Amino acid sequence: MEIVFATHNQHKLEEVMQMLPENISLLSLDDIGFNQEIEETGDTFALNAAIKAKVISASTERNVFADDSGLVIEALNGAPGIYSARYAGTGNSKDNIVKVLNELKGETNRNAYFIAVICLILDKKEYYFEGRINGTITEEIMGEEGFGYDPIFIPEGHSLSFAQMSPEQKNSLSHRGKAVELLHDFLLKKH
């Protein structure tokens, strides 16, 4: 079964490919030549995932899933939230990390969670899957692996940041991993 994953991000594609059943052929937007800019105008992760999935499904007539994910920090009233990827305004992960660390200087409440919501459009029907992982924000960058906010997020019950973990270890804990696991189980039942 072929499914389009609504991403141009090679890191995300590889991460998700490792988590889906082998009989699923995962295609990126680059693989299908889809380059249309999709504005994420929703005010929730679920709405943004649905916007992406619906636009791609309508224009390609393929089965597709899109995710929207982000980092939610208690002391920042939920920021960066749905703006996680563009929080610093530059689209650069390092800039986003620096902004978060600066905003949290001197803050003792460093509670946060990563959330991922997947919207799957399969045979023209919509399905949603949500994954979440609680943790804390570090005071400095820790680790070289991963991407996005991984170097400053330590999942609950662990002492390493996501960026210090192996991809397998991170995937077994991560918000995206949990959402993809629900998607995986659903797809196994369907096909």
Question: pLDDT tens digit string along 95-143?
Answer: 999 999 999 999 999 999 999 999 999 999 999 999 999 999 999 999 9
Pair of tokens at residue 161: 């940041």
CATH T-level fold of 2-190 = Maf protein (3.90.950)
Question: pLDDT tens digit string along 19-56?
Answer: 888 888 899 999 999 999 898 899 999 999 999 999 99
Q: Name the one residue in this structure whose structure tokens are 């998607």.
A: 183
Q: Name the one residue in this structure whose structure tokens are 């709405």.
A: 47
What phi, psi does 20 have (nearest 5°)? -100, 160
pTM score > 0.85 for this model? yes
Catalytic residues: 68
Sequence ranges of the domains in the chain: 2-190
**Residue 103 to residue 122: CA distance in whole angstroms:** 41
